[in-house]
Amino acid sequence: MTLQTVVSLLVVGLLVGVIATLVVKHRTIGLVGNIAISVIGAFIGYFVLHEISPALSQLVFAAGGGLLLIWLVGLIKK
């Protein structure tokens, strides 16, 4: 994993966390929590889905992983 990939995943995780906070206001854990969870989800999504299909964009995988993890935390918190 290159430094560019790590930075890309951090930026995508940050953006997904901010967007999730703005869109889903009633079932989130706040801006900082959403950013942290989405960054972790971005890395998980990249590692899991990159193994399945490395041809697709890593940013799509990262965003999907971040959104999925925020959604799961929202369900658990409920």
Residue-wise pLDDT tens digits, 32-64: 887 888 888 888 877 877 777 665 666 677 777
For residue 32, give its domain range: 27-78
Domain membership of residue 11 (yes or no) is: no
Mention every residue, 6+ apart, whose C-beta is less than 8 A from residue 10. 39, 42
Which regions of the chain does DSSP assign to beta strands (E)? none
Entry pTM = 0.68
Domain membership of residue 15 (yes or no) is: no
Q: Which two tokens stand for residue 59?
A: 């940013």
According to the model, what pLDDT value does residue 53 have?
A: 67
Domain membership of residue 10 (yes or no) is: no
Q: How many domains does the chain have?
A: 1
Residue-wise pLDDT tens digits, 16-37: 878 777 777 666 677 788 788 8
CA distance 24 to 61: 20
